[in-house]
Amino acid sequence: MMELQATGWKASRVFREGLEEGRAEGELKGKLKIVPALVARGFTVQEIAEILNLSVAQVQASQP
């Protein structure tokens, strides 16, 4: 607890790790959100996975 007071809670390792995890989750959600639009434009699951740097399984799971 003294460490948090001395350096501030934003400097804590737990905070930084949580922030990075949240950013990664947000980035993934954003990518998955555009998958249906790419499918509608005729891109294949494989092409979408390569473009968005996702796995084929992630792309398939995000389709309606």
- Give the DSSP letter of residue 63: -
* Predicted pLDDT of residue 53: 96
CA torsion 3-4-5-10 (nearest 10°) is: 140
* Predicted pLDDT of residue 14: 83
* Predicted pLDDT of residue 16: 84
Contact 35, 48 (CB under 8 A): yes
Contact 35, 43 (CB under 8 A): no
Chain segment 8-56, per-residue pLDDT in tens: 766 788 888 888 889 989 999 999 999 999 999 999 999 999 999 999 9
* Predicted pLDDT of residue 15: 81
